[in-house]
Structure 1
Amino acid sequence: MHQYQSLKVEQQGAIAHVMINRPAKANAMDEAFWTEMVQVFDWVDQTDSVRVAVISGAGNNFSAGIDLTMLAQAAGDMVQDVGRNAERIRRNILRLQAAFNAVDECRKPVIAAIHGYCIGGAIDLIAACDMRYATGDAHFSIKEIDMGMAADVGTLQRLPHLIGDGMMRELAYTGRAVYGDEAAQLGLVNRVYADHGALIEGVMDIAAQIAAKSPLAIRGTKEMIRYSRDHSVADGLNYIATWNAAMLQSEDLKLAVAAHMSRKPAEFAD
């Protein structure tokens, strides 16, 4: 397995466990993080033996968001020309967005296991995941507003689909903290666990359940959910009809039916 500077990646059977690995810095997202996320999730997407990914944080936190030294460095790179500064900033924002687009666009389901701080850029990250689970003491905050800026890496675009427009506006305008139980009530996380150990155990069990299903069916389901989020019902129904015109001819369908009839688990090819 490739060694990364800001991430630690392990493949456990069909599950890729991606850990943000800067515990001494509360897993703040440094320069290397943004490049490595694209690389790791390209690997997850392209590796057939990986069927699902889990993202967690090493140490006491999921992530405290973007490393502020990156912002300071960006400010130091400014030149006299406003137009060139604007172009440089825009290109950099698009580069950071690509890190979380890689999660959203990955063909495999991605599950976030959240404990401790999950603030600023970490909210952008978990909003790009398929599902989110947390400990009761997990601390969520759209912190960008307290930094004098609008969140620009996906929170404002993805979070309304998870918790609704009105609540997203409240959290984005105030920056107030939300903890595990309230996050579950809002629909931000699916379930709350007593502690970090129980969280990882529970999330890995869910990941294993997903990994046992037909990988074609799982990837098709994710594709349809993502497409339907951004298109009309009519467009989504048309797309699934075209998709399944091909996918219903897969051997996985026959294996699944046979397994159901025999009451034995199916073994699907990668």
Structure 2
Amino acid sequence: MDYSCFKTEITDGIAHLRFSRPDNFNSFIPEFWRELPEAVNDISDNAKARVIVLSAEGKHFTAGMDISVFMSGALDAPPDNREVAAEAFRHHVKALQDTFSALENARQPVLAAVQGGAVGAGVDLVTACDCRYASADAFFCVQETAIGMTADVGTFPRLAKLIPEGWARQMAYTAERLPAEKAREIGLVNEIYETHEALVDGVMEIAATIAAHAPLAVAGCKRMINYARDHSTADTLDYIGLWNASMLRTDDIKESYVAKSEKRNPEFHNLQPVKKSL
């Protein structure tokens, strides 16, 4: 399917989504908020790939929320109907939040390759990804504070679980730019690459390594890490026991050992498509 905000390519088990509005710094226009979850959910539900990579064309990864979203009237409310409008606006925000939650809920790992700026909603997006990588010129900025609002699309419930709380607070309170080197130092990004080209090549290489492993095992890893983040150790141990009791695939384990002994790449079954309706 063609999308107005990004290009998609699926090769060798890797779905590569490239933001394709470089002249507008890949800002998130209204169409983006519908298209991204549609694309990600399609890949996830229909098991079209084993890993998803997000990258961007141009100087910046994204400038965040496009001004057209703010100017659409969604933020306006008649003075005499403020509470009713606020209730409706809450649902509007929830829809925006669901866009990035699709990345977190995808069965496949999602890797973000960030060059230049990841600003405002760009931070919301990358914190919903499994791993973040950056070019040397990259920076991250919770820009919402500087324009008079509190970030509401996913930064706060995720950022403080990825980096030390003090740094999450400083980023939010100051709206300062966090450069790539500091982002790596505090754990926001896994690795820095010198150029945009090296960044994309490096992330695609990591994606290929992931895609070579048993998809069910990888999906289980993602599910367990997300669950452990939000639950106690005891609950998580119980959950992973139930997971492996029902979904540990001994054929994949055997294939791993046999392939190694035969000096070949193992062959694994893909995840099955998810049926969401009868």
TM-score between both structures, scaled by the size of structure 2: 0.93
Cα deviations by residue, 1:170-226 (Å, 9 ceiling, x for unpaired): 111111111111111111100000100000000000000000000000000100001
Matched, 1:81 2:67: no
1:44 alignment partner, SS class: helix
Residue 6 of structure 2 is matched in structure 1 by 7
User: 1:127-172, CA deviations, whole angstroms, 9 ceiling, x for partnerless residues?
Assistant: 0000000001012101011011111011111011111211100111
1:250 CA drift (Å): 4.1
What count of residue pairs does the alignment treat as equivalent?
269
Task: Measure, in 2, the Cα distance between the counterparts of 1:237 and 1:248.
Answer: 15
One-letter amino acid of the counterpart of residue 208, structure 2? A
8 Å CA contact retained: 2:26, 2:62:
yes
Q: Where does residue 154 of structure 1 map in the other structure? A: 154
Alignment RMSD, CA only? 1.3
Summarize the alignment of residues 181-192 of structure 1 with structure 2, pairs less than 5 Å apart. 181-192=181-192
Question: How far apart, CA to CA, are the structure 2 residues paired with 1:231 and 1:119?
Answer: 30
CA contact (8 A) 2:53 2:110 kept: yes
Greater mean deviation of Cα atoms: 113-122 or 39-48: 39-48
* Map of 2:36 onto structure 1: 37
Shift in CA distance, 207/249, structure 1 to aligned 2, threshold 3 Å: closer
The answer (yes or no) to whether the contact 2:27–2:63 under 8 Å persists in 1 is yes
Query: Shift of the alpha carbon at 1:247?
Result: 2.1
Which letter does structure 2 place at the counterpart of 1:46? D
Match status 1:67 vs 2:66: yes
Deviations 1:86-141 (A, max 9, x none): 01211110010000000010010000000011110000000000000000101210
Q: Which amino acid aligns with 1:22?
A: R
Measured in 2, the distance between the counterparts of 1:49 and 1:19 equals: 17
Distance 2:10 2:109 in 1: 15
The Cα offsets for residues 240-268 of structure 1, whole Å up to 9 and x where unpaired, read as 00000122244212211322444432111
**Superposed counterparts of 1:83-232, under 5 Å:** 83-232=83-232
Query: Which amino acid is the alignment partner of residue 33 of structure 1?
Result: F
> In 1, distance between residues paired with 2:63 and 2:232?
36
* Separation in structure 1 between the aligned mates of residue 21 and residue 233 of structure 2, nearest angstrom: 42
Measured in 1, the distance between the counterparts of 2:190 and 2:203 equals 11
Say which is worse superposed, 67-76 or 241-250, in terms of deviation.
67-76
Gaps of 5+ in 2: 271-278
| 1: CA distance, partners of 2:249 / 2:72 | 53
Describe the SS at the equivalent of 1:73.
coil
Offset, 1:236:
0.4
Instruction: Report what 2:53 is aligned to.
Output: 54
**Cα offset for 1:75?**
5.2
Distance 2:53 2:180 in 1: 18
Gaps spanning 5+ residues in structure 1: where? Answer: none
Instruction: Give the partner amino acid of 2:20.
Output: N
TM-score, length-scaled by structure 1:
0.96
Secondary structure, counterpart of 2:132 in structure 1: strand
Q: Could you say which residue in structure 2 is the equivalent of 1:19?
A: 18
